[in-house]
Structure 1
Amino acid sequence: MLFASLCKHCYLSMDFKLDNIGNKLKNGLGKAITYFILLSCMAVLVIYAVQRFGGDYAEQKIQEQLELSGLAPFVHYESVHLDPFTLTPSLENVSFGNEYSPWLRFARISLNSYPINYPDLDVDFWIQESPIDSLSRDTRRLMRAAGIETLLGKGSFTSKVEGNKVSSSFKLDIKDIGKLAWASDISLLNKNIAMDNLRSDVLASFALGQPEALPIIYGDAIEVHSLEVEYEESGLIAHLVPKSTITLDSRENQLNGIKYASQALGLAPANSEEAEHIANTLLTFLQKPEKLNLTLSPTSAISLKEIALMVNEGKLYKDSKMELSNK
């Protein structure tokens, strides 16, 4: 009897302790769930606040820069989105040029820094799939020349300013056309030059097909330390220069044609070693279009005005230490 009574007492005591432990676990679990829900709600509120107020701030800064650069009338966008995790502001559904018949349509342009660290830029962009009839007359003309009916692509642009030196790189990949990569290192000799004005002038000069305007505007104000351009073919050259066209003429005639074109462009005299090298390199590329590289690496920095003079004298290739290759 005594043993049975002790066992019963131990069982009841153990059962009571287990109940207490169970209740504590339930209470602890309940508190943990409550805290988790509260923290989740706070996180959602923080994310919403970052997106709402951060997005408003980013749009304000973007609009300010568009106004300062004079590009506001040409850049139209639907909204500004801010990624709350990477703090990357993006312009959504952007058109550049005339709002109804733009030069280009972008699905998104992302500025990979926040707050916007102007004048440094780090931009990714995606060209919206655009049928030929939805774009401007100038763009339609270029698309027809390239043999495409729909424009689609992506790219990036980075530019870093340190004192009077500016390092920039640009990459563009257009479907059924090719990949273009460009990098440059320049110095600004005039402290009064604003980067927004320079970038808008460069953009406008190429958009209007007048790059020769840059040496006139900035001839003595910009020095070039290096320049590198690379093109990788994926359809453009095959359309512009079909193999059947190349085989119609002799190699000698083709080489002579390229030599005289080099002279006309101010690169090198037609009877020079430089023109011979340019002709052989270009003809090899046209016969088997894969990659083409152009580098400019002068012994010392040269101004845009000096480059223009080299072109006028027909010695740009040699005097600027230019190199054309298929590598």
Structure 2
Amino acid sequence: MIICGTNAGSPRCWMLVNDTVLTDVQGNGQIASASDISPPYPSQKSISLPSDGSLYSAMSSVTGHPGSIRRTFGSQKLLKTENVWLLNPQFAGAAIMPSTLKYKEEIYFFFSELNKTARVDEEPYRARIGRICTVDEGGIKALLADSWTTFMKARVMCGAGNTQQQYNNMKQAVVLTAQDKRAGVLYGLFSNAWGRTVICAYSIEDIDQAFSTSKLKGYSSPFVGSRPGMCVRKNSTTGGHNDIKNLGVIRYHPEIEDVIRPVGVAPLDLPTDDQITHAVADIVLAVNDEHYSVLYLGT
């Protein structure tokens, strides 16, 4: 087990041996800098998620650090997001998206980022879902050599239809998924500029469909060969003309056009107006032998 901490402003990682002894990190796997896994101070939010012997880490933006999504440990190549893909991200959660085909396994990262085009009367944030494939091994020497080739992101809306009553700051994300199946529900805790909080629910199937079929924002040409950013058994890194073109598409157009909207196109109708600070979800078996999703809210 790897344990990383702030270490009084100088992040450091250790290996926990026999549940009792801390040693320097050893083994066959590669490991990123401790500062890419743990922030120097608890106020900088970070998220780490293990999957099949690898560790994936998301670091929120602070002064001097643009924020990133990385593979930070494991036998696979250590990869990162390009700085231009994220605009001062503040991460709210992450979840593994299972698949019956292992090479199609994905990880979703949930965050809010700066809205550069916001008007004076608009909030400066936009909620996002970022997605990477766990089989990603990076690009070619000339393009995305140490970066994700499968990173895509989508805007997430939480509000009443197309009205101005929108909640753009995602504070927390909780996902319930079926084992080995790309199905389930995302519950997002959102706030607006006045501090009011709501919960929006999203279909994982709808999100998956959007990433698989949506046009890419700012890109209108037809795709050549496979769709850019898709999970494949072995990434297209041989350097052929079509491979380079697809890598270029992802490098400059990682955002999809489709907007992710909540189930019912509105926040959940909750029996409270209190400010929600934390959310937890679970699937429980009731006395009638039916399974139900239960949402626990902290105020």
Whichever of the two has the greater Rg, that structure is 1
Greater strand share, structure number = 2
Fold conserved between structures, TM > 0.5: no
User: Normalization by structure 2: what TM-score?
Assistant: 0.30
TM-score by length of 1: 0.28
